[in-house]
Structure 1
Amino acid sequence: MSFSAQTTVSDQEPRPDPAPAAVVTSGPDGALFFGGNADDPFFLDDTGANRLVASSIANPGNPNKSLLGFRQGRDTYAGFNTMITAVRVPASLLRGDSQVIGVNFVCQRRFVQLNRGGAVVGEGPYVTVDRQGTPLVNNGLIPPPRKNEYNGASTQDDARGRFDQSITQSLRNLATDDAHIDAILNVHQRNGDILRLDLRVPNFGPQGGNNPGGGFGNMGGRRLVDDVVDAVFTMINNGVPLRDLVNGNEVPFRSEFPFVADPTQPFPPGQNPDDHTRQ
């Protein structure tokens, strides 16, 4: 599949009401493509999560779990925009012999050859510099000294156990018991760090789907509305609920492709305006 189309333009003008529709292009096989600026759809108290993980490193096996929600639901990503590339692909193009689809996202760049002055004089093959499968495995469980190694590795490396020891140590630092460590490794490493979608799991409702039986945790993929942070930290916490108290995005998502909300626009000048940012 290939696409060529105008992207949704980001500007500094106040957003008209109602907002214009997103610019979307389609392929002959029914696939859709969107590229442009949008509200950052992730919702999480990043500071709380980082402090919890840091406390588990400083006090292995005895982390301060209250740090995850100590800011009472402050969304680090509220009020910020990001560049979005979204693709909608008919399931018939992805389905093989199984009803389960595995998705592994990678970001690649080319090796470059530099001369002594720093100028690029040659290019090599593409290499993976970042990857993402199951939410928070890369960000939360891989220790910093191994981040680059993990990003450059493959899901086959995961299945061969290359990172099992490091992930196990991270989980023990967080006071995860052996049964939950084994369950996490079974789902997220021993078959590769791949996000799995069972096409038989129903998905319906506004904002791209919000039915309780679908989405993350039910083999229904990872929907924008799914509170993956609470789900992952609860699993790490041996099934006992552990939440950051950020329960949703600060603005509603669209109910049609590309589902992400319009970008946050500049606010009118005034005294102490609220720009929605919550870092």
Structure 2
Amino acid sequence: MTTVNRSARGRKSLAALVCGALAAGGLAAAGVTTSLAPGAANASSHREAPLISGQPQYDNTDVYAFVSPDKPDTTTIVANWLPFEEPAGGPNFYRFAKDARYDIHIDSDGDAQGDLLYRWTFKDHVRNGDTFLHNTGPVTSLDDPDLNITQTYDIELLRLRNQHVISTTKIADDVPVAPSNVGKASMPDYAKLREQAIRQLPDGSTAFAGQADDPFFLDLRVFDLLYGGDLSEVGRDTLKGYNVNTIALQVPSDHIRQSVGQPVIGIWSTTHRRNASGHWTQVSRLGMPLVNEVVVPLNAKDRFNASSPWNDADFLPFVTKPELPKLIEAIYKIDAPQEPRNDLVSVFLTGVKDLNQPPNVRPAEALRLNTAIPPASEPKRLGVLDGDNAGFPNGRRLTDDVIDISLQVVEGELLGQKNDLGDAVNANDQPFGDAFPYVALPASGSNGPLAQGQGGGNRSQLEGGSAELTASAGDNGTLVTTSLVAAGAGIVLVGLGLAWWRMRRRDGAVL
């Protein structure tokens, strides 16, 4: 689960957000968009607040930051948007919004104000608007003319002082985005496309933007009153087979930290959307996992998402007197730790003393990373709780099991109340890479959740690459092939008949 923050900035911006959410809902209700799989779930900023849940292109899902294991003089930052991408969700598939600013903020002195801001903006390119196809043939490179819909992006580096921009430098210009993985027929070598989308920048950084397997692993049935009320609902990675849109940046660590003597940085991401008046409104913010999902109550979630870290004192009572331990106590009779929970303040707001807490820190929800701690040769999924100081909550690696870590911390692990709480999902379903951008390749439309039958009910699939379409019908599992083919042929004939009827009517024929 992941932290997010947003607050309404006046009636106009709030009205714009509500209109956007209602518009999205109206399209869905009208049948313009359809939810094909278990998409109505909540995860790490995956749909964590009411307004942003209707605007997935602008919804941060997770932020990761870690010292690069293969290049320890650099820091890698990964931020994800657009949750629950069903890989077969064509024909438009999944693009970054062109009316958004996707920002990553760096606080290098612990005052909860960004000193550096990396900003991604995206452009759409369509080669042929007279076809419904995302690609008109097999795609073998990012400049393949058969890739009909493409995106490019720019990156700007803004330097700030007291929230005022003092300089802006464009560090990337018209860089190609790795496309959605349509399927094996459309993109027979997707790894090659991914490789072409990794670009070295003139300032010594490396950048990537494109689709990736969702790296967050967890059983989201936690929201069914904590795993079914009896821990019967654990052990299934809810995000298995789903993708996200990823931006990743690997930057020399000395470019983003204040000094060698102060190596701790704070990191968070935001999304701004242009509103009806032409101004930019922050609609999403995310740093530490889980805060907005299970710490901030419903009536403050949207305000949290539009707020800024230097105002996080407004939300301090939700951390020092959290709801989650009380819920666990009510259901599982595990005593909630005594309040106020200053241990949670150190984990989620200030950083842990002598680990990743900067001097004179101002409490704020941000992912804090000590860039002077080298990568672990054998990372442990429980990070600092298991003696691995290179892991969460010192930054966040892709392999860190933040659900288990956070559940154990919430139940008092740092206060001496030892426990082994967890969701029984201990690793991602796909292996992560050994080099930048580290995230796993996205699931393709050929083998996503729908192709695997994860959506429940009847399911269809192409068996063994043959042309025979099979489906399980009803509870008896009877295979119906002939009837499906006949039904398909019938639909085609009906379609042809309607086309003929309309043509005849247009030509004035008497029916």
TM value normalised by structure 1:
0.78
Query: Quick one: distance in 1 between partners of 2:441 and 2:326?
Result: 40
Q: Is the 8 A contact 2:294 2:324 kept in 1?
A: no
Larger Rg: 2
Structure 1: distance between partners of 2:311 and 2:300: 13
Give the whole-Å Cα distance in 1 for the aligned partners of 2:409 and 2:219. Answer: 18
Cα 1:79–1:133, aligned 2, differ >3 Å: closer, same or farther? same
CA distance in 1: counterparts of 2:227 and 2:236, whole angstroms: 19
Question: What is the CA deviation profile of residues 15-61 of structure 1, one whole-angstrom value per residue up to 9, with x for unaligned ones?
Answer: 646932532112111111111111111101112x2124699xxxxxx
SS of 2:276's equivalent?
A: strand
One-letter amino acid matched to 1:82: V
The answer on whether the counterparts of 2:208 and 2:247 sit within 8 Å (CA) in structure 1 is: yes
Question: Which residue does the alignment assign to 2:422?
Answer: 243
How far apart, in 2, do the equivalents of 1:177 and 1:112 lie?
A: 47
1:77 corresponding residue in structure 2: 239
For 1:62-101, what aligned pairs fall within 5 Å after superposition?
64=229, 66-67=230-231, 70-97=232-259, 98-101=262-265
* Residue equivalent to 2:179: 9
User: Shift of residue 136 of structure 1?
Assistant: 0.5
Q: Do the aligned partners of residues 80 and 162 (structure 1) sit closer, same or farther apart at CA in structure 2, a change above 3 Å counting?
A: same
Name whichever structure is richer in strand by fraction: 2
Please give the root-mean-square deviation of Cα atoms over the aligned residues, in Å.
Answer: 2.9
> Equivalent residue for 1:43?
217
Structure 1, unaligned runs of 5 or more: 56-63, 114-122
CA distance in 2, matches of 1:266, 1:230: 31
Cα distance, 1:184 vs structure 2: 0.5
Separation in structure 2 between the aligned mates of residue 148 and residue 31 of structure 1, nearest angstrom: 34
Secondary structure in 2 matching 1:202: coil
Q: Which amino acid aligns with 2:268?
A: N
Matches for 1:53-202 after TM superposition, within 5 Å: 64=229, 66-67=230-231, 70-97=232-259, 98-113=262-277, 123-124=278-279, 126-158=280-312, 161-167=313-319, 168-171=321-324, 173-174=326-327, 175=329, 176-178=336-338, 181-189=341-349, 191-202=363-374
Aligned residue identity for 1:173: K
Q: Secondary structure at the match of 1:177?
A: coil
CA distance in 2, matches of 1:170, 1:39: 31
Contact residue 203 and residue 210 of structure 1 kept, 8 A: no
Distance 1:275 1:206, change over 3 A: farther
Which protein has greater RCO, CA pairs closer than 8 Å, 6+ apart? 1
Structure 2 vs 1, CA of residues 210 and 136 (structure 1 numbering), >3 Å: closer, same or farther? Answer: closer
Any idea what SS the aligned residue of 2:273 has? Answer: strand
Q: Is the 8 A contact 2:212 2:441 kept in 1?
A: yes
Deviations 1:206-240 (A, max 9, x none): 89x998442103x2x10000001100011111122
2:203 paired residue number: 29
Percent identity of paired positions between Structure 1 and Structure 2: 31
Amino acid at match of 1:197: L
Q: TM-score, normalised by structure 2?
A: 0.44
By how many angstroms is 1:89 displaced? 1.6
- Paired with 2:220 and 2:304, the residues of 1 have a C-alpha distance of 21
Q: Is the contact between residue 155 and residue 194 of structure 1 (CA under 8 Å) also seen in structure 2?
A: yes
Q: Secondary structure at the match of 1:5?
A: strand
Corresponding pairs, count: 248
Question: Structure 1 residues 192 and 213, CA, compared in 2 at 3 Å: closer, same or farther?
Answer: closer
